[in-house]
Amino acid sequence: MNDQKKKIVISDKVWLLISFLVALAVWYMLSIGEKTGRSFPFAPSVFEGLKTMVERDALFSDFCSSMLSVIMGFGLGFLTALPMAFLMAWYTPVRKIIEPWINFIRNIPALAYAPLIVIMLGIGRTPSVVLIWICTFMTMCVTIFHGIRNIDNTLVKAARVLGANDVDIFFRITLPATVPFILTAVRLGLSAALTTLLAAESTGARAGLGMRIRTLQTTFETNAMLGYIILIGIIGTLLSILTDKIERRLTSWQEKREG
Amino acid sequence: MAGEERRVKIEIKNVVKEYHGDHGTTVALNGVNLNILENEFVCVVGPSGCGKSTLLNVLAGLHEATSGECFLDGKRIEGTGVERGVVFQQYALFPWQTVIQNVMFGPQMKRLPKAECQEIARKYIKMVGLEDFENSYPKELSGGMKQRVAIARAYANNPEVLLMDEPFGALDAQTRAQLQTELLKTWEQEKKTCFFITHDVDEAVLLAQRVVIMSARPGRIKRVVDIDIPYPRDQATKNDPRFMELKAEIWNEVYQEYLEVRK
């Protein structure tokens, strides 16, 4: 009578499917509402909208343009954040001078100072790249810096007493110990790059997902607009899955974390 | 003492160590003098905060004494050196490296060829009985196994002196007993000079030829007790009446120190 309750085990994949169906249902409800329907047309209309954009030869070039800006801005951000994080960790004056300003600027929406960058650099790709560079740099620099500071000092001591010099310690201890934080920084940096996209392409860009969303706004083409928005979301998800995979491969030595 | 001629390996002379923090100066060591003989096994006991770890760090060259000096074979100790191997309580294994990579670290720092590094590493991994775990990562090992790897790693550098900072402090009683027995066996074979810190009086009396009792605040040596129990020793030694006598004596002194600290 008081037998074990039947436990239904649902796999993660099924949960994902359920979550997807729930979202579809919500989306459908929004699309049939009188007011909400104007902003949230349902999937077939969105698909039509995107098809129109393909016919206008816009979608592909928008995608490529944005991705190029993201890759360049993120790349510059990464290449500058990594050494800066080490400088901040090793030299107190560098940290004391720079850290407060990173934290200050980080809290300002990129959209606010985007026009300043455009006024300075003119229209075209350069201001977009620079804006993404600034945002990704700040996020990644802070994350990597905290990672370096959190390295277990006993490991450095252990290496030292085994005869390691400063160069050995950097390559054999500091760098591998920082890898998990670098990967977290990459994940956060990519996400920052995408969220900055709209601001980055807000003024003067000739193509791009962010720029297109703004122009479609002026013509009330919500079908295509929603399609573009979803597209940015999909790109973000794919990038995050990719970094997850790399992370799992490179940091399998870590003690298990929750979740 | 028997009149055997034994060379002084480590000489600690008037070592003072002060820490300057935000809340003023803390004196961790206040004039410590001690000679450790070649091949000797010395254990240091004392309540926490008596500066025993500080003393080990000074000997390892990880901390610099505020004043006073330490000598190894008559040479002043400055900085770390591969002739002084250290085993830490927290194992301090490199988590991104496998067991063999960890043990190879020291030989690699000596820029020995890879094959030779591996050969040395295998020898000491075998010594601690972890042949089957050569390619495991530290996270896959139990605490006792991790500390065995750390001991193998220290031995792989062929140090003249082993400095051990409460190496078994984080282990359960059974594992601890097992590692004590293994360490005794290794020491009886290899006869390296051992400087071993513990807060466990049982452990100190079981392992050491001499037990150094430290008093706290400021840290200095209170008494040195000769442990005149012959080797080979093992866990059964703990039933020896002489063992119990010495243990009770040392334990009382340490406990008094503990009460002093609590005041």
Contact across the interface for A253 and B153, Cβ inside 8 Å: no
Q: What would the two tokens of residue A197 be? A: 């996209």
Residue B81 has pLDDT above 50, yes or no: yes
pLDDT, one tens digit per residue, over A191-217 is: 999 988 888 887 777 888 988 998 888
pLDDT band at A5; cut points 50, 70, 90: low
Q: B121 and B156 in contact (C-beta within 8 Å)?
A: yes
**pLDDT score, position A258:** 45
Q: Are strands B161-165 and B75-76 parallel, antiparallel or unpaired?
A: unpaired
Q: Would you call B61 an interface residue with chain A, using a CB distance cutoff of 8 Å?
A: yes
Interface test with B, best of A155, A156, A157, A162 (most B CBs within 10 A): A162
* Four-CA torsion A86, A90, A93, A96, nearest 10 degrees: 60
Cα separation, A118 vs A198, in Å, equals 14
Q: Would you call A151 an interface residue with chain B, using a CB distance cutoff of 8 Å?
A: no
Could you list the beta-strand ranges (E) of B177-249: 193-197, 210-215, 220-226
Residues 6 or more apart in contact with residue B174 via CB below 8 angstroms:
none
Pairs of CB atoms within 8 A across A/B: 63
Burial of A254: CB neighbours in 10 Å, binned 0-12, 13-18, 19+: middle
| CA B206 vs CA A154, B196, B216, B226, B228: distances in Å | 28, 12, 23, 12, 11
Find tokens 């920082």 and name the residue: A178
Q: Would you call A173 an interface residue with chain B, using a CB distance cutoff of 8 Å?
A: yes
Interface test with A, best of B72, B84, B96, B101 (most A CBs within 10 A): B96
For residue A156, the chain B residues in CB contact (below 8 A) are: none
pLDDT band at B3; cut points 50, 70, 90: very low
Please count the other Cβ atoms lying within 10 Å of the Cβ belonging to residue B231.
11
DSSP-based three-state secondary structure for B48? coil
Q: Would you call B109 an interface residue with chain A, using a CB distance cutoff of 8 Å?
A: yes
For residue B110, the chain A residues in CB contact (below 8 A) are: 163
Residue B2: alpha-carbon gap to chain centroid? 25
Q: A9 vs B153, which has greater pLDDT?
A: B153
Contact across the interface for B86 and A158, Cβ inside 8 Å: yes
Contact across the interface for B157 and A253, Cβ inside 8 Å: no
For chain A, the straight-line distance linking the first and the last C-alpha, in angstroms and rounded, comes to: 36
In the sheet with B24-37, reading across from the earlier edge strand, the strands are B24-37, B8-21, B67-72, B75-76
For residue A152, the chain B residues in CB contact (below 8 A) are: 92
Peptide bond into A83 cis (omega under 30): no
Q: What is the DSSP letter of A174?
A: I
Percent of chain B whose pLDDT exceeds 90:
69
| CA B176 vs CA A165, A250, B8, B170: distances in Å | 33, 34, 30, 9
Give the mean model confidence (pLDDT) for residues A92-116: 91
pLDDT, one tens digit per residue, over A50-84 is: 999 999 888 899 999 999 999 999 999 999 999 99
**pLDDT score, position A256:** 65
pLDDT, one tens digit per residue, over A225-253 is: 999 999 999 999 999 999 999 998 888 88
Residues 6 or more apart in contact with residue B255 via CB below 8 angstroms:
none
Interface test with A, best of B94, B97, B111, B146 (most A CBs within 10 A): B94
Average pLDDT taken over every residue of chain B:
90
Percent of chain B whose pLDDT exceeds 70:
98
Residue A257 has pLDDT above 70, yes or no: no
Q: Which residue of B has its CA nearest to A157?
A: B62
Cα separation, B179 vs A89, in Å, equals 39
pLDDT, one tens digit per residue, over B98-139 is: 999 999 999 999 999 999 999 999 999 998 899 999 999 999
pLDDT band at B21; cut points 50, 70, 90: confident
Q: What is the DSSP letter of B232?
A: S
Find tokens 């006993």 and name the residue: A154
Contact across the interface for A161 and B80, Cβ inside 8 Å: yes
Q: Are strands B193-197 and B67-72 parallel, antiparallel or unpaired?
A: unpaired
Q: What would the two tokens of residue A189 be? A: 């940096």
Contact across the interface for A163 and B109, Cβ inside 8 Å: yes
pLDDT, one tens digit per residue, over A144-183 is: 999 999 899 999 999 999 999 999 999 999 999 999 999 9
Q: Which residue of B has its CA nearest to A166?
A: B109
Nearest alpha carbon to residue B53 among B250, B195, B155, B241: B195
